[in-house]
Amino acid sequence: MPTPQKEDSAENIVLADSERWSAAIGYVFFLCFVSLRKGRTSDFVRFHARQAFVLFVAECIGLALILVVDRTVGRIPFIGLLVVIVLQIVIYLCALFLAVMGFVKAFFGERWRMPVLGRYAQNASAE
């Protein structure tokens, strides 16, 4: 039984289920490396793999920022704790939102450029 395929309306290309899954799985934290490896054969997978990698790097930088703020400003009794909690909520929710949106858009075969991080992924592809 052949796998169902979806036609991308923006580019009029046919995407296989394996391409859509490979592109979508990259948005799951460190699994972006799997998508980068599979992206060698498909432009669609490569597009989403680059964005997923940029999101992964941004998540790592955000985590490092949270650790630095926690070890410095976080030592102030009440205000420091409040600042760290607000920073964690903002960074984690932004990363979660971008990962879920990227996963859904890739799974449904759409090319979606992330609002802030998408231009960095695009600049990396313009080498």
Q: pLDDT tens, 90-118? A: 999 999 999 999 999 999 989 889 988 88
Which band of pLDDT confidence, cut at 50, 70 and 90, is reported for residue 20? confident
Q: Is 83 exposed, middle or buried (0-12, 13-18, 19+ CB in 10 A)?
A: middle
pTM more than 0.85: no
Q: What are the φ/ψ torsions at residue 10 (nearest 5 degrees)?
A: -75, -35
**Cα 41 versus chain centre, distance:** 20
**Per-residue pLDDT tens digits for 64-79:** 999 999 999 989 989 9
Integer Cα distance of 45 and 38 in angstroms = 7
Dihedral (C-alpha) 87, 121, 12, 7: value to the nearest 10 degrees? -40
